[in-house]
Amino acid sequence: MKFDESLLYNIKSDYQGIRYSLFDLAIWKNGLAFKKINFSDRGLPVIKIAELNNGISSNTSLTQGDYGKEVFVQWDDLLFSWSGNPQTSIDVFRYRLPDGWLNQHIFKVTANSNLVTKDFLYYTLKYLKPYFTQIATNKQTTGLGHVTIADLKRMSVVIPKKEIQEQVTSILKVIDDKIEVNSNINENLDQQIESILLAMFNSAKTDCVRLGDYLYIKGRIGWKGLKKDEYLDQSKYRIINGESLTKSGVDWLKAGYISKNRYIESPEIMLKEGDILLSKDGTIGKIGYIDSLETHATVASGIFVIRNIKPEIISTTFIYYLLKSRLFKGFIAARTEGSVIPHLYQKDFMQFEFPLPSSDEMKAFDAITKPMFSMIIGNLQENQKLSRLRDELLPKLMSGEIDISITDL
């Protein structure tokens, strides 16, 4: 989506209300430029864009310092990442992680309650994400773009009266609240399944085996990587990249589109139902499961396609949770520690060893966990549908295209 320059800063609206600059709607406090000397092996996490996108991990920096309440972040704070890759880094978040300290390039956004509710401001910023992306792209240098305080002062929106704000956000919040409930259920189920898996390891009486002996593992060949201008607006061929492989699994709403020729040139990474995906670059260890395919799909550079080739010995659910486990995360950390650009090599991956449960233990694991995994997949599918609905309603509600005054709530 590309906006005319005249509309990029003066956001069109059908609402009756008062026009304010975005800057006037909130206090915008940038995070701190932390240095290595600030970090320690314990303390509160330093929240960077990686944490907002992927959660707290072994790569998250910790600090024991006290840097003041202005950059202290806690549950439900509004955060706006204003610098980075315009397509993947510019976004607004409701904070859903443990208390921490805010890193630079992220604003902590405190709504001016005299003018706007916190929820209405959040959805306004979500609605404006395409505008922010274009502004950042227009100023992009060496891959990075920015949305600055000057831009926030220049951008203006119409703010309706509080009653309308609350009616609008009540519709969107119902959807987001259900998504969050499903996500919390899945997180709890994931933890239960991992506990079962680790308990099996603790009682294992067998020797360790190599993971690579049980899997098909392929990634995109380096010279076949896609350039930005090779992504299409629409096609029958989808591609999952680092942005669309999230901490919750595959987000098809963020998956890209490519040509048929680019799809068929790499048959070894054409996706099938039951495949597992694992990120091997950047934020290593993000994992997804292909439960169903509505169209042809493949993966971008930086992602392994993993396929179970011995299902009579080891279950795919077991493999999936083995790769999500602390045991495997520790293996990754040991292989990538000290790397300037973290990368998990296929040869290292295939050498990972684990205690293989007996046939009876594997059957027992499947009997307990498969219903739980099916519930997780169902919740993920529902969340995808709810996200589509929310994203369809968001621009119509926030622009006033849908007249709330005549809507039966």
Which one of 3.40.50.620, 3.40.50.10680, 2.30.30.100, 3.90.220.20 gives the CATH number of domain 207-356?
Answer: 3.90.220.20
82 contacts: CB under 8 Å, gap ≥ 6: 90, 105, 106, 107, 132, 136, 146, 147, 148
Angle in degrees, CA 320, 326, 327, rounded to 5: 85
Q: Is 167 strand, coil or helix?
A: helix
Alpha-carbon distance of 187 to 247, in angstroms, equals: 10
Beta-strand ranges (E) seen in 312-362 are: 353-355
Task: Output b/e per residue, 233-261; b: 16+ Cβ within 10 A.
Answer: eebebbbbbbbbbbbbbbbbebbbebeee
Q: From 3.90.220.20, 3.90.700.10, 2.60.40.10, 1.10.3720.10, which CATH number describes the 5-160 domain?
A: 3.90.220.20
Domain coordinates in residue numbering, the chain: 5-160, 161-204+368-409, 207-356
**Token output for 171:** 């519709």
- Beta strand pairing status for 208-210 and 353-355? antiparallel
**Cβ atoms within 10 Å of 265's Cβ, excluding its own:** 11
Burial class of 13 by CB neighbour count within 10 A (0 to 12, 13 to 18, 19+): middle
Neighbour count for residue 155 (Cβ, 10 Å): 20
Q: Do 207-356 and 5-160 have the same topology in CATH?
A: yes
Q: List the structure tokens of 273.
A: 């139902």
- Is residue 16 classed exposed, middle or buried when 0-12, 13-18 and 19+ CB atoms within 10 A define those classes? exposed
CA angle 388, 174, 389 (to 5 degrees): 15
Give the pLDDT of the chain (409 residues) as one tens digit per residue: 666 777 889 999 999 999 999 999 999 999 999 999 999 999 999 999 999 988 898 789 999 999 999 999 999 999 999 999 888 889 999 999 999 999 999 999 999 999 999 999 999 999 999 999 999 998 887 778 999 999 999 999 999 999 999 999 999 999 999 999 999 999 999 999 999 998 888 776 777 899 999 999 999 988 788 888 899 999 999 999 888 888 778 888 889 999 999 999 999 999 999 999 999 987 888 899 999 898 999 999 999 999 999 999 999 999 999 999 988 988 888 887 766 677 888 888 889 999 998 899 999 999 999 999 999 999 999 999 999 999 999 999 999 999 876 555 4
Dist CA 392 CA 399 (whole Å): 12
Q: If you search the block for the tokens 């072994």, which residue do you land on? A: 58
